Amino acid sequence: MAFLSLRALTKRFGFVVAVNQANLDVTSGEFLVLVGESGCGKTTTLRLIAGLEIPDSGTIFIDGAPVNDVPVGRRSVQMIFQNFALWPHMKVFDDRGYTNLTLPLKVRKWSSDKISTFLLPLAQRLGIEDSFFQRKPSELSGGQQQRVALGRAMTTSPQILLMDEPLSNIDPPNRLKMRGEIKKFHQEHRLTTLYVTHNLADGMALADRIAVMRDGRFEQVDTPERLMRQPATNYVADFFRAEELRYRSISG
């Protein structure tokens, strides 16, 4: 576990300010959900924390230490991408070789027996069926690839887990199951987790707190209950009202 702080974090892409003097504190072991309109800076914020983008100004702190200059692989941060980012030439799972699920554990010199004992129950819980094991990512559906991406991230034991729309390609029945597995995994390992979603129902079910972003800044960061009952700004109130109406129209 690790605590995370962003101080006056700014990232520009040409004339577009994607993240604008953003400040945020995430406590160790917290599950923080980021919501907001498309283009508000949610994904860019995750990429900055992961080290995949370099901030133009401001500082990222992990456990109180600045990490702006720390390379991606040394931050103890794992990110699940919206486009899965699986190794295209590797199969899903084989405890004897390097595959999408086993690679992080093989690098740590785990034995085949230990890998199987750890991964097989995890794969079953995530709905990664035995019939997927010998397939490559191109032979899987989008939802199946997303499950493998989740499984791989769960094997890396990072201090901070970043998730960018991890359930976007999962069908509704399996979405609820996967959401439950994400919550269970978080509770078991107490990773500091930041989770971007456009699905407010997912956010409300998972979050300790929700951060509402607007124009590259955090408009309000609070518990789901307080955001709904005590919105700090008209924007937050309107955002939750609009999301509630959208959810009713879909479910009704």
**154 is written with which tokens?**
């769960």
**Distance (Å, rounded) from C-alpha 118 to C-alpha 13?**
42
pLDDT for 245 equals 64
Query: How far is residue 76 from each of residues 2, 64, 92, measured CA to CA in Å?
Result: 9, 14, 23
pLDDT for 57 equals 98
**Distance (Å, rounded) from C-alpha 162 to C-alpha 165?**
10
Helix (H, G, I), strand (E, B) or coil at 145: helix
Give the domains, in start order, of the chain with CATH numbers. Answer: 1-76+161-252 (3.40.50.300), 88-157 (no CATH)
pLDDT for 187 equals 84
pLDDT for 76 equals 85
pLDDT for 221 equals 97
Q: What is the pLDDT of residues 216-228, one digit of tens each?
A: 999 999 999 999 8
Helix axes 142-155, 172-189, angle to 10 degrees: 0
Low-confidence ranges of the chain (pLDDT < 50): none
pLDDT for 81 equals 74
Q: What is the pLDDT of residues 107-147, one digit of tens each?
A: 888 999 999 999 999 888 888 888 889 999 899 887 788 78
**Distance (Å, rounded) from C-alpha 57 to C-alpha 182?**
33
Supply the DSSP string of 150-219, one letter for each residue: HHHHHHS--SEEEEESTTTTS-HHHHHHHHHHHHHHHHHH--EEEEE-S-HHHHHHH-SEEEEEETTEEE
**203 is written with which tokens?**
């956010």
Residue labelled with tokens 């899965």: 84
